[in-house]
Amino acid sequence: MIIADTNVVSELFKPTPDPRVIAWLENASDVTITAVTVGEIWAGIENLPDGRRKTGLRELAEDLFSEFGAEIQDYDFAAAHIYGQIVSARRRLGRPIGYADAQIASICAANGWPVATRNVKDFTDIGIEVINPWDG
């Protein structure tokens, strides 16, 4: 299993997604997302002004999330424990991590899964494999 970070999923909402990301998604196997990413995407959409763009993005999100269905990974008790370790360790290094990134990283760490992201630096020093789909 590979967890796609929110920036990978967000690429699919662009009028012209980066072809490297599309190629990576087409060739990668067993890619899914977390409930954290679902929340981040919905928050981004709901912050938009009402109109056709917002309506279209809502429809796209519903379609995309239904494709992942039961494969969407939850933030659970094991991840929550690791979350505390990640946040504390990164603070001690002088490299604090955002809450959503820490939750996604902790889900990956709890399950031994890599994360696919453009923000490689946000996921280093955590002990998980990081894949950058933009590297082509």
Does 124 fall in a domain? yes
- Residue 5 known to bind ligand: yes
* pLDDT digits 0-9 by tens, 73-98: 999 999 999 999 999 999 999 999 99
The total number of structural domains in the chain stands at: 1
Global pTM reads: 0.94
- Name the one residue in this structure whose structure tokens are 């991590």: 97
Q: What is the mean pLDDT of the chain?
A: 96
Burial of 54 (0-12, 13-18, 19+ CB in 10 A): middle
CATH number where 51 lies: 3.40.50.1010
Is residue 76 part of an annotated ligand binding site?
no
**Segment 36-81, tens digit of pLDDT:** 999 999 999 999 999 999 999 999 999 999 999 889 999 999 999 9
The answer to whether position 49 is within a domain reads yes
